[in-house]
Amino acid sequence: MIEYPSAPDTPRSHLPFSPATKVGELIFVSGQASVDATGKIVSDSFEGEMRRSIENLRKVLEDAGSDLAHVVRTCNYVRDDADLALYNRIYPEYFQAPFPARTTITNCLGAALRYEIDCIAVAKNSKA
């Protein structure tokens, strides 16, 4: 069975996709960016946008029955490769060793965003 978990205050986009899709114990979270609860982009420094994006990811995961500790893979989009050192300093504040599998793509976002993250996680009650 496929589920689309969310709560009224789940950050969501005006674009045609669900914040998360759950299949069994797996949770697939769509790209989370620096947006408010209405989906409006909140421009900030790279650090501010990265932190807001990961906090949005945390909220979507909680609404789906998981958390950052149950993330098995992240895909990260960093607009400017000059921000990679800061990205690598902030990332371990949210994801601890042993770290999830990770992909990082640079020079890939338009001018409106500095950072975006998506992930695959397992439900907290998973036996996986």
The domains of the chain, with CATH numbers, are 2-122 (3.30.1330.40)
d(Cα 13, Cα 69) in Å, to the nearest integer? 24
H or E element, residue 31? strand 26-32
pTM above 0.85? yes
Q: What is the pLDDT of residues 17-66, one digit of tens each?
A: 889 999 999 999 999 999 988 888 999 999 999 999 999 999 999 999 99
